[in-house]
A and B are shown apart, each in its own frame.
Chain A
Amino acid sequence: MKEGLPLWEVFVRAKGGLSHRHVGSVHAADPKMAVDAARDVYTRRMEGVSLWVVPSAAITASDPGDAACLFEPAQDKVYRHPTFYVVPDNVKHI
């Protein structure tokens, strides 16, 4: 059974206004079971107000071998960092 059940990635929204964040994964046979398992494993200590579960198989990941061409060209483009203006004190979570 342990080997047989598909893996699901779990995302938790910590509170209203924040986006869902990846927190880990669970094994489950169907979507309801995955939500139940995610609830029991990852939100026991008031970590969240909303859950997403996504079949791990549905995720397409970038190829680590492509990292050089995908990500390194961004390294010397400091002008793309939005650091040239002042963030108001009341704006959180940017």
Chain B
Amino acid sequence: MAHDLAVRLGDDALILGHRLSEWCGHAPTLELDLALTNIGLDLIGQAQLFLGLAAAAEGEGRDADALAYRRTEDAFQNCLLAEQPNGDFARTIARQFLFSAWQELLLRRLADAADQEIAAIAGKAVKEVTYHASFAAGWVVRLGDGTAESHQRMIAGLDWCWRFTGELFEDGCAALRTEWDARVDKVLAQAGLDAPEPVRGITGGRRGRHSEHLGHLLAQMQYLPRAYPDAVW
């Protein structure tokens, strides 16, 4: 149970962290380049801790790096939202806002969890994620309430991500839904945006059934450690 949770939390953080690292050198401004990669680094740090815990719990002599770099696509348990391509800046913000709002609620609960190791990591991570959620919410409002073009792009970004949000509330997370809905509604109202129409959700990430995007991401992320096992620098 604790093992599965640690893998899910670790994979979410690793995959989304890698996605954010793809912005390095490409963000609209220097400030945003640093902001997005800072968030990415926070998430990769969390992934290291959660996957380290998962590796120790399975007791097969693997470590966090082995889980990150030597598993195939169908062994990853991240949510589908995390692996979605960056798209434009608005879609990246939509993805971050929807994910971080959920992750913050979950980590707050886990910080008081009975499992002390999970609780310790969650307690550390929740401070980082509180900032991620606030940063992303600020940009949802700024883009939604900005120019005609930024408004349109924010709508398109939210539309892209929306079908993957239902999955966040599977696997024991159903209780987070009400609070998440209220939080998302509040920010969207502030941004002058309507919540996207309910759509038929796409799910399966938690069981290793991923979109075609994850394979490409892993090919890039895992290339070096697979080509040069145990390389150090």
Q: Which residue of B lies closest to A38 (CB)?
A: B31
* A80 contacts chain B at the CB level, 8 A cutoff: no
Query: A33 near B38 (CB under 8 angstroms)?
Result: no
Chain B binder among A22-30, A57-65, A67-75, A83-91:
A22-30
Q: How many chain-A residues does the 8 Å CB contact rule pick out?
A: 16
> Which of B34, B131, B135, B142 contacts A41, CB < 8 Å?
B34
Task: Give the nearest-CB partner of B36 in chain A.
Answer: A40
B32-67: contact bitstring with A at CB < 8 Å (1 yes, 0 no)? 101100100000000000000000000000000000
Which chain A residues lie closer than 8 Å to B31 at the CB level? Answer: 26-28, 37, 40-41
Which residues of chain B come closer than 8 Å to A30, judged between CB atoms? 142
Q: Which residues on the B side are within 8 Å of A5 (C-beta)?
A: 29
Determine which of A1, A2, A26, A36 lies in contact with B138 in the assembled complex, contact meaning CB atoms within 8 Å.
A36
| Minimum Cβ distance to chain A for residue B118 (Å) | 26
Q: Which of B28, B30, B34, B142 contacts A33 (CB 8 A)?
A: B142
Kindly state the separation between the CA atoms of A28 and B134 in the bound complex, as whole angstroms: 16
Are B34's CB and A1's CB within 8 A?
Answer: no
Query: B28 to chain A: which residues have CB within 8 Å?
Result: 1-2
Q: Is A32 interfacial (CB 8 A cutoff)?
A: yes
Other-chain contact of B34, A28, A29, A40 (Cβ < 8 Å): A40
Contact A2 B29 (CB under 8 A): yes
- Residues of A near B34 (CB, < 8 A) are 40-41, 44
A5 to B30, CA, bound (A): 13
- Chain B, residue nearest A5 (CB): B29
With the chains together, A39 CA to B38 CA distance in Å? 10
Given contacts A40-B38, A41-B34, contact A33 B138 (CB under 8 A): yes
In whole angstroms, what is the CA distance A37 to B31 when docked?
Answer: 6
Q: What's the minimum C-beta distance from B23 to chain A, rounded to whole angstroms?
A: 13
A32 touches B138 (CB 8 A): yes
In Å, the complex CA distance between A37 and B29 comes to 10
Residues in A with CB closer than 8 Å to B30 are 41
When distances are taken between beta carbons in the complex, the residues of chain B under 8 Å from A40 are 31, 34-35, 38
Q: In the A-B complex, list the 5 residue pairs whose CB atoms are closest, starting with the nearest.
A: A37-B31, A40-B35, A40-B34, A40-B38, A26-B31
- B residues near A (Cβ < 8 Å) are 28-32, 34-35, 38, 131, 134-135, 138, 142
A-B pairs with beta carbons under 8 Å apart, 10 shown:
A1-B28, A5-B29, A27-B29, A27-B31, A29-B142, A32-B138, A37-B35, A40-B38, A44-B34, A44-B38
Q: A33-B142, A41-B34 are in contact. List 9 more A-B contacts (CB 8 A).
A: A2-B29, A27-B29, A27-B31, A32-B138, A33-B138, A36-B35, A37-B35, A39-B131, A44-B34
